[in-house]
Chain A
Amino acid sequence: MKHKKNILILGAGTAGTIMANQLVKEVDPHSWHITIADATDTHYYQPGFLFLPFGIYDEEDVKKPIRSFLPDAVKFIQEKASEIKSEEQQVLFESGKTIHYDVLIIATGSTIDSSEIEGMNGPEWRKSIFDFYTFEGAKALREKLATWEGGKLVVHITEMPIKCPVAPLEFSFLADDYFGKKGMRDKVDITYVTPLSGAFTKPRATQKLEYLLKEKNINIVSDFAIESVDNENKSIKDYSGKEVPFDLLVTVPTNKGSKVIEQSGLGDELNFVPTDKGTLQSKVSPNIFVLGDATNIPTSKAGSVTHFQAEILFENVLRFIRKEELLPEFDGHANCFIETGKGKALLIDFNYDHEPVEGTFPIAGIGPLRLLKESRMNHWGKLAFRWVYWNMLLKARPIPFVKARMSLAGKNF
């Protein structure tokens, strides 16, 4: 019997699951084993965490078993990786298990670390300081919002990069809508605090989003580099001496790559893996590839980006196996719905070289979605996306009209 080779995927989130489904269709099962490992057996629909605090989604809407999205031919192991030994081509697991790989795909994502800022996870954590980037955090915040009587709500980003950079803005817009519907908007003062110089990272979208903040009576404090959280006086302080008081702080703590990256000495100062931005091959070793939030490449950390990356990476893994040259095809493509409240949303589509602009999507000149413009159709698109995510995206089924490389057609540059 011929000895089979191993493709090992670390992480069964959006990135790992898409990759497993892609590879199983093309890789010769007589020559290759595909194994995917994750510490948990639950797949979370992370975009849904935004809706959880406002009661728009329920817990059941955002979690399903990992196994139901993986093909039978892929072996799933529920094990927590503790170290990647790139020289030996081995991954060690906390249980003591060791797996040898011929090709490793790192899809370990990013998580929040509230211990990075002094006082953030102090006595007020989950009392008046919350996050919505974890399932537990979003649930705890829902309980808090349900009984909160108003005051100063501060929505805050600790430092860049963060997963889904538009989520905190969406949270602010949805909070405006939520308190408005409860008839208590006049009792809530909303302030958006960001380390960036404006509402978003790209000029034309920033202009649009700042207009929306103003329209919704949301204050903005920019260039705020947080130094500490004062639990006693309930305020956040920055290095230049600026101070913003809060009654309720909803923060996005520092985002970091997985512990296993740090323990293996493979990451940068935030545990993200140095990766070629075009081919998605790691700079650690030629047979290690990186997908999704785990990379250090200069694009957004988001599910749509991962989905586009997966198509390119899949092709490059096949090329690597066939000993062909890799293609530097990934263009940084990101596509994000931005909920703006009151049943409307914006849509942005951009890449490494082109910032988000107005236009039509996905069909040039037709739409039906509108870029960088509020519309109800965009909001429905966002809600419909949950179905697309569970039923098409994770299973690597092609999404009609949406291509991995960004299209310039239909955009008003």
Chain B
Amino acid sequence: MIMLKELVGNTIDVNEEGFMTDFTQWNTQIGEALAAENDISMTPKHWEVITYIQTEYKNNVPLSIRKIGKSGVVDIKEFYTLFPNAPLKTATKIAGIPKPVSCI
């Protein structure tokens, strides 16, 4: 089910878990606001990870925690420090892309 959500003056489409369903609606302001909802204040390092994730997504590369740990951008430990608890879920949510299907 897709719902409409108002965020920093924009309307975005999200699913029941709060993941954006249309990446074209995403911008950095929205990313910032989604991060705030998850108690994260974005730093340049956060943005580096988000940019990496978005690039991989655009290239149709399936994402996993292991993949991000080997990206050269962050190691897994740092990824957890930046996005605590469930980092891949939180980071993909902020990045405005679907929840990764590393789950089959």
Residues of A within 8 A of B (CB): 159-161, 165, 195-197, 201, 223, 225, 227, 239-240, 269-270, 296, 298-300
Contacts and interface: CB of A to CB of B under 8 A. Distances in A.
Contact of A298 (B62, B77, B84, B89): B62
B103 A239 contact: no
B66 interface: yes
Contact of B86 (A159, A223, A270, A300): A223
A335 to B, nearest CB: 14
13 contacts: A161-B102, A161-B104, A195-B65, A197-B86, A201-B103, A225-B65, A227-B76, A227-B77, A239-B76, A239-B79, A296-B62, A298-B101, A298-B104
B104 A269 contact: no
Interface in B35-73: 62, 64-67, 70
A240 B104 contact: no
Nearest to B78: A239
Nearest to A350: B104
Interface string B81-101: 000111101000000000001
A299 B102 CA distance: 10
Given A159-B64, A269-B66, A298-B62, A240 B103 contact: no
Given A159-B64, A240-B84, A269-B67, A196 B76 contact: no
Contacts of A240: 80, 84-85
Nearest to B65: A225
B104 A299 contact: yes
Given A197-B89, A201-B103, A160 B84 contact: no
Nearest to B102: A160
Given A161-B104, A223-B85, 13 more contacts: A159-B64, A160-B64, A160-B104, A161-B102, A165-B104, A195-B65, A223-B86, A223-B89, A227-B76, A227-B77, A239-B77, A239-B80, A269-B67
Given A165-B104, A201-B103, A159 B80 contact: no
Size range of the chain B interface in the assembly: 10 to 19
Contacts of B103: 160, 196, 201
Contacts of B102: 160-161
Contacts of A300: 104
B70 A201 contact: no
A300 B103 CA distance: 9
A298 B84 CA distance: 26
A201 B62 CA distance: 16
Nearest to A198: B103
B45 to A, nearest CB: 16
A201 B101 CA distance: 9
A160 B88 CA distance: 13
A153 B23 CA distance: 43
A241 B39 CA distance: 18
Given A223-B86, A225-B76, A239-B76, A201 B66 contact: no
A195 B76 CA distance: 14
B74 to A, nearest CB: 12
A298 B103 CA distance: 8
A178 B70 CA distance: 41
A227 B80 CA distance: 11
Nearest to B75: A239
A296 B102 CA distance: 11
Nearest to A296: B62
Nearest to B84: A240
Contacts of A195: 65
A196 B88 CA distance: 11
Interface centre among A160, A269, A296 (most CB of B within 10 A): A160
A270 B67 CA distance: 9
Q: Which among A223, A240, A296, A300 has the highest number of chain B CB atoms within 10 Å? A: A240
Nearest to A242: B85
Contacts of A269: 66-67, 70
B92 to A, nearest CB: 13
A196 B64 CA distance: 12
A178 B74 CA distance: 44
Contacts of B65: 159, 195, 225
Contacts of A227: 76-77
Contacts of A225: 65, 76, 80
- Interface centre among B64, B70, B87, B89, by most chain A C-beta atoms within 10 angstroms, is B64
Contacts of B79: 239
Given A240-B84, A240-B85, A270 B104 contact: no
A164 to B, nearest CB: 11
Contacts of A197: 86, 89
Rank and list the top 3 A-B pairs by shortest CB-CB distance, nearest first: A201-B103, A239-B80, A223-B86
Contacts of B64: 159-160
B52 to A, nearest CB: 15
